[in-house]
Amino acid sequence: MDLTYVAVALVMLVDVSGSIDTREYDLQRGGIVAAFEDRGVQKAIWQQQAVAVTVIEWSDVQRTVVPWRILKDADGATRFATEVAAIKRSSAGGT
């Protein structure tokens, strides 16, 4: 088993319930993308040596749309942002 020390583990939850319209969904997803493309955030990741991140969409069910990733540098943060940008909404279900 390969273990990596991470300074922070972030679980980002995106609401995809029926009360969230496309604009609101795009705002949530876009905020995650913008954050991980930000040079200040990328520098903070590098200074921490490693952070773990995942994205889960939830409504009446939960779905992991980006499994755990270990980010160690700006390139990793950019790859993660690209992966999040490519997500298609998993549900427009109930609450």
- Cβ(32)–Cβ(74) under 8 Å? no
Q: Which tokens go with 89?
A: 């909404």
How far apart, in whole angstroms, are the C-alpha atoms of residue 95 and residue 77? 31
Closest to 7 in 3D by CA, of 38, 71, 54, 51: 51
pLDDT at position 3 is: 80
Low-confidence stretches of the chain (pLDDT < 50) are: none
How far apart, in whole angstroms, are the C-alpha atoms of residue 48 and residue 94? 38
pLDDT at position 4 is: 84
pLDDT tens, position by position, 45-55: 889 889 999 99
